């Protein structure tokens, strides 16, 4: 499919983006935004579909943000499929694809801004990946300012990221609505992720233990019950035999991300997991 025959508009610069969205803003169209790092899969496309349900115009950004990577090799190995991504967005009826260069998003220096949001930003991913959320918020802030959408859509698989962005939007009083969308899973149960591309067939099968452990815990927990022994048992039953190197597997408050030792139906809680399958780091979540 040539660029000339495509319905989707692909823009590379902030100036082009603003010109492409100007008529929509001036006419009061409701604009939805889906920020991604590319290597699109069914999970990303589900976000586009959600946006299409309630918005007149949908913009998707494709940008691998270097400042949120702690591991240079992880950044270098992150999958990039720009042509395929554009084709998938076209098929999903996305209106605008914003695909800037690093120089466009970081015209002065490749550094993150500094943010302070307390436990929601400091725990779990914040602890294992120092500076990660400063990088995330730096690029999200810039994208929000450039796109000027009414609502943005994020997948819940990166549950802490969603919580951090919501906390920042509230603190900054930024005029945008944040919608969290359910994690999309394969038929086997694994949470869809661009990083799954890097799993071997054997590693993919091992990775299925993550979702099995999460759903097992969800089915096992009872009101007022301490969670430590249940999490430990699930780790022994599912994660350890699959040779998964767990970094954290916890029950947390869905808003503050603080660890919870006792299960309660009266609270909004979430199971959070991060660990390695071989050399590939995967995360997953399950709301309770």
- Which residues does the annotation mark as catalytic? 44
* Cβ(60)–Cβ(85) below 8 Å: no
DSSP calls for 123-140: STHHHHSTTHHHHHHHHH
Decide if 50 contacts 58 (C-beta within 8 A).
no
* Cβ neighbours, 10 Å, residue 3: 9
Specify whether the CB–CB gap between 102 and 166 falls below 8 A.
Answer: no
8 Å CB contact between 79 and 198: yes
CB-based contacts of 193, cutoff 8 Å, min separation 6: 41, 43, 157, 282, 283
- Pairwise CA distance, residues 96 & 143, whole Å: 14
Question: What totals of helices (H) and strands (E) does the chain contain, helices first?
Answer: 11, 9
At residue 110's C-alpha, the angle toward residues 105 and 111, to 5°, is 110
- Strand, coil or helix: 27: coil
């Amino acid at each position: 499919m040539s660029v000339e025959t495509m319905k989707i508009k692909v823009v590379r610069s902030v100036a082009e983006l603003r010109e492409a969205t100007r008529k929509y803003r001036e006419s009061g169209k409701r604009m939805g935004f889906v920020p991604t790092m590319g290597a699109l899969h069914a999970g990303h496309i589900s976000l586009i579909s959600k946006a299409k349900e309630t918005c007149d115009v949908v913009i998707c950004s494709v940008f691998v943000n270097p400042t949120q990577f702690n591991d240079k090799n992880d950044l270098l190995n992150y999958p990039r499929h720009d042509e395929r991504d554009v084709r998938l967005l076209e098929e999903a009826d996305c209106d605008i694809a914003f695909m800037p260069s690093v120089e466009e998003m970081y015209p002065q220096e490749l550094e993150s801004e500094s943010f302070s949001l307390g436990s929601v930003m400091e725990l779990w991913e914040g602890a294992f990946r120092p500076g990660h959320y400063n990088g995330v918020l730096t690029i999200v802030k810039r994208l929000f300012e450039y796109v000027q959408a009414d609502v943005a859509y994020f997948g819940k698989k990166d549950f802490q990221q969603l919580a951090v962005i919501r906390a920042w939007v509230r603190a900054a009083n930024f005029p945008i609505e944040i919608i969290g969308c359910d994690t999309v899973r394969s038929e086997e149960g694994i949470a869809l992720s661009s990083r799954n591309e890097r799993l071997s067939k054997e590693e993919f099968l091992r990775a299925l233990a993550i979702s099995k452990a999460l759903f097992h815990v969800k089915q096992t927990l009872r009101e007022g019950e301490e969670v430590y022994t249940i999490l430990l048992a699930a780790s022994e039953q599912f994660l350890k035999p699959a040779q998964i190197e767990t970094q954290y597997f916890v029950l947390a408050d869905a808003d503050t991300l603080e660890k919870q030792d006792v299960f309660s139906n009266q609270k909004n809680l979430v199971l959070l997991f991060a660990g390695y399958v071989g050399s590939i780091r995967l995360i997953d979540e399950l709301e309770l």
